[in-house]
Amino acid sequence: MRIAFLVAPEGVEQVELTDPWDAVLDGGDEPVLVSTSPGEIQAFDHLDKADTFPVGEVVGDTSAESFDALVLPGGVANPDFLRTDRAAVSFVRDFFSRGAPVAAICHAPWTLVEADVVRGRTLTSWPSLRTDITNAGGTWVDEQVQVCDAGPNVLVTSRKPDDLKAFDEALRTEFAKGRKAS
């Protein structure tokens, strides 16, 4: 399976990118870094610059149909930038329209709110997104990981870097179900 990791040119929380990336690789799938601009993205360790990573595909030049699943890493600035980019929001919405599995951690559900795909779903996130999720019609829960299969696709969400082990396990399990179904 090809798995898109959608991130902004800078601001992604590095561990929320690299841990799920490694989980996807360990599952035998192909992770692809998708961003709004070509070149490299700048990751962060909270507020400090961390490593850079090469962009595999640009969101405006690719489509959700060329991927089997989507991962949205967090970091405060990352989803805040993505939710203002029309191509990125449309890209996310297309995964839901297709019924493909999606995983989002920490602040990443901001992009889901902007894509108007949380209505009727139960999810978790960084606690400060609770009101945004609720106002968008979702149900927010304070859990390490939440797997919601309301609608045609599965949504895996998690709160923070401390939850990465559970998040990685859940996304591997749910993505594997998608592999078997195809």
pLDDT in tens, 20-59: 999 999 999 999 999 999 999 999 999 999 999 999 999 9
Return d(Cα 69, Cα 34) in angstroms, integer. Answer: 12
Average pLDDT over residues 52-71: 97
Range of the domain at 25: 2-181
Each residue of 2-18: pLDDT tens digit?
Answer: 999 999 999 999 999 99
Q: Which of 41, 106, 118, 133 is catalytic?
A: 106
Structure tokens at 79: 């989803």
Please name the residue that has the structure tokens 């179900």: 177
DSSP category for residue 72: E
- Report the amino acid identity of residue 111: T
Q: Once rounded to an integer, what is the mean pLDDT over residues 90-113?
A: 97
Q: Helix/strand/coil (H, E, C) string of 26-56? A: HCCCEEEEEECCCCEEEEEECCEEEEEEECC
Q: How many domains does the chain have?
A: 1
- Which domain CATH number covers 22? 3.40.50.880
- Considering only CA atoms, which of 130, 131, 136, 179 is closest in space to residue 157? 130
| Closest CA relative to residue 178, chosen from 121, 125, 101, 103 | 101
Is 148 a residue of the active site? no
